[in-house]
Amino acid sequence: MAGALSCSATDLAVLLGPNATLAADYICGQLGSVNNKFTDVAFAVDNTYLLFSAYLVFSMQLGFAMLCAGSVRAKNTMNIMLTNVLDAAAGGLFYYLFGFAFAFGSPSNGFIGKHNFGLKDFPSASADYSNFLYQWAFAIAAAGITSGSIAERTQFVAYLIYSSFLTGFVYPVVSHWFWSVDGWASPFRTDGDLLFSTGAIDFAGSGVVHMVGGIAGLWGALIEGPRLGRFDNGGRAIALRGHSASLVVLGTFLLWFGWYGFNPGSFNKILVTYESGTINGQWSAVGRTAVTTTLAGCTAALTTLFGKRLLSGHWNVSDVCNGLLGGFAAITGGCSVVEPWAAIICGFVAALVLIGCNKLAEKLKYDDPLEAAQLHGGCGAWGLIFTALFAREKYLNQIYGDKPGRPHGLFMGGGGKLLGAQLIQILVITGWVSATMGTLFFILKKMKLLRISAEDEMAGMDMTRHGGFAYMYYDDDESHKAIQLRKVEPRSPSPSGAPTTSV
């Protein structure tokens, strides 16, 4: 513990006169007990902080579920919500058995962890159960991103297989590279052999979480192909709008709330002093991180609002929600090492990146019901580049250890080494996820385990796969009118001669 009390009986004995040794031993013993209490309190405060952050990140699963449900058609609501539940459930078991060990099982090599399978020999001096819970919440967030890209046309067994593989192997390897003390590109490496003398800076996961989930979703949607009716015979895009803007907004606010555990919580500890006796401690950095997160999201939301108004002529709430989330995904990587004013730039550009990616997806006839690949993949990649441009040396040294002359943001006078490390991170994440998840989705397609039949897709998976609709609703106005007409058609005349109607 920093600033721990120290006491030497030899030093005190000189000052205490007769019976000095006994008195000194007693005083030092009391001070030692007080010091242990301070240490215990520090551990308790930091673990409580991390657990609370884990609960916030886990609450994002409810946000994902509501956002996904509102963004698909009503006939697929039960299906998409069930997949969100199973992302958490399957992810929990596979991250416990394999994922945490592959990510943080130390000591290990630069590629993959190799200890603590099934939390064996756990907890340790470097990690407690709160660390596992927090990292599990991150892993299932990556899986939740992917489920949105392949919504409304994917077999249920494919969801189970990809979710288990992603949380148990693909995602943990990436998090090992950039967050473990042994990872080849990690800024936390203990041997001092840092990539470009800095390591890749991805504080809360613009690359590790958002790019991984977004690129996995990209390959799933590409290999499956677009939903039926998404593009007409001439290749013109046809909007298949989600059924509930209310659920989209609810999900967005829940995700916003959870992001305050996602980004500020990634410090893992709060009771860390930078300058003793001042306000300059990790508690202040946590607050600054919450502010940069907020500003990036707000700026992206407003930029999307006016940008889409100019392009489409509408004030679209779903577009604004996606823009907001794009700003959050972008700032996640550098939220702790940039100034609040820089976060506004991050959010502004993130909105433009999202709009541009959506335009490109439409031209390429790529169909992603939640814009997950564009939002998390595109904005996540921008977030890594943004960090390389605006990261402050002071903040990097506070978080990643004091290193004189540390490479930092290019626009902050730090040279181009950090930009090189960030570009390598983008490339290796893209390559790794493409090689693993792209291959998995291709195999599932060849085994006819990926896409549902055209008949099931048209009818909706709630009815064909899950035993009934989530709501009592009508697919189209004509069927609704036909039902109403049948309800009021005349029956045989009554004894009085007047016709009767059914009600």
**CA 87 to CA 11: how far, in whole Å?**
60
> What is the per-residue pLDDT across 19-66, written as a single tens digit (0 to 9) for each?
556 665 666 666 777 777 778 888 899 999 999 999 999 999 999 999
For 283-290, what is the mean pLDDT? 96
Indicate whether 195 belongs to any domain: yes
Residue 99: is its pLDDT beyond 80? yes
Is 338 in contact with 296 (CB distance < 8 Å)? no
Indicate whether 17 belongs to any domain: no
Please provide residue 46's backbone torsions phi and psi, each rounded to the nearest 5 degrees. -65, -40
Indicate whether 224 belongs to any domain: yes
For 285-294, what is the mean pLDDT? 97
Residue 501: is its pLDDT beyond 70? no
Q: Tally the domains of the chain.
A: 1
Q: Compute how many other C-beta atoms are within 10 angstroms of the C-beta atom of residue 413.
A: 9
The per-residue pLDDT for 451 is 96
**CA 248 to CA 322: how far, in whole Å?**
9
The per-residue pLDDT for 469 is 85
The per-residue pLDDT for 280 is 85
> What is the per-residue pLDDT across 470-492, written as a single tens digit (0 to 9) for each?
886 555 555 445 445 554 455 44
Indicate whether 133 belongs to any domain: yes
237, β-bridge pairs: 231
For 96-105, what is the mean pLDDT? 96
Per DSSP, the residues of 420-473 read: HHHHHHHHHHHHHHIIIIIHHHHHHHHTT-SB--HHHHHH-HHHHHSSS-SS--
Is 99 in contact with 132 (CB distance < 8 Å)? no
What average pLDDT is seen over the chain?
A: 89
Return the structure tokens found at 400.
Answer: 């990643």
231, β-bridge pairs: 237
Q: How far is the CA of 386 from the CAs of 190, 227, 237, 297, 351, in angstroms?
A: 26, 34, 32, 15, 13
**CA 343 to CA 409: how far, in whole Å?**
14
**CATH number of the CATH domain containing 382:** 1.10.3430.10
The per-residue pLDDT for 26 is 62
Residue 5: is its pLDDT beyond 70? no
Q: For 299, what's the count of Cα atoms within 13 Å in the CB-facing half-sphere? A: 23
CA–CA–CA angle 192, 198, 203 (5° rounding): 110
The per-residue pLDDT for 163 is 95
Query: Which residues have C-beta within 8 Å of that of residue 324, sequence separation ≥ 6?
Result: 252, 256, 297, 298, 300, 301, 304
Indicate whether 234 belongs to any domain: yes
> What is the per-residue pLDDT across 406-415, written as a single tens digit (0 to 9) for each?
999 999 999 9
Indicate whether 177 belongs to any domain: yes
For 12-22, what is the mean pLDDT? 57
High-pLDDT (> 70) share of the chain, % = 87
The per-residue pLDDT for 496 is 46
DSSP assigned state of 227: P
Is 198 in contact with 187 (CB distance < 8 Å)? yes
**CA 325 to CA 352: how far, in whole Å?**
13
Q: Compute how many other C-beta atoms are within 10 angstroms of the C-beta atom of residue 337.
A: 29
Residue span of the structural domain in which 131 resides: 50-272+280-466
The per-residue pLDDT for 192 is 76
> What is the per-residue pLDDT across 149-178, written as a single tens digit (0 to 9) for each?
999 999 989 999 999 999 999 999 999 999
**CA 491 to CA 43: how far, in whole Å?**
78
The enclosing H or E element of 331 equals helix 317-331
The closest of 43, 238, 258, 227 to 141, measured between CA atoms, is 258
Query: Which residues have C-beta within 8 Å of that of residue 409, sequence separation ≥ 6?
Result: 338, 387, 388, 389, 390, 391, 392, 418
> What is the per-residue pLDDT across 337-373, written as a single tens digit (0 to 9) for each?
999 999 999 999 999 999 999 999 999 999 999 999 9
Task: Using the structure block, give the residue that is written with the tokens 């609040």.
Answer: 340
Indicate whether 152 belongs to any domain: yes
For 227-244, what is the mean pLDDT? 91
Indicate whether 43 belongs to any domain: no
Residue 382: is its pLDDT beyond 80? yes
| SS3 assignment for 25-82 | HHHHHHHHHHHHHHHHHHHHHHHHHHHHHHHHHHHHHHHHHHHHHHHCCHHHHHHHHH
Lowest-confidence pick of 255-259, 315-319, 432-436, 462-466: 462-466
> What is the per-residue pLDDT across 190-235, written as a single tens digit (0 to 9) for each?
887 899 999 999 999 999 999 999 999 999 999 999 999 999 888 8
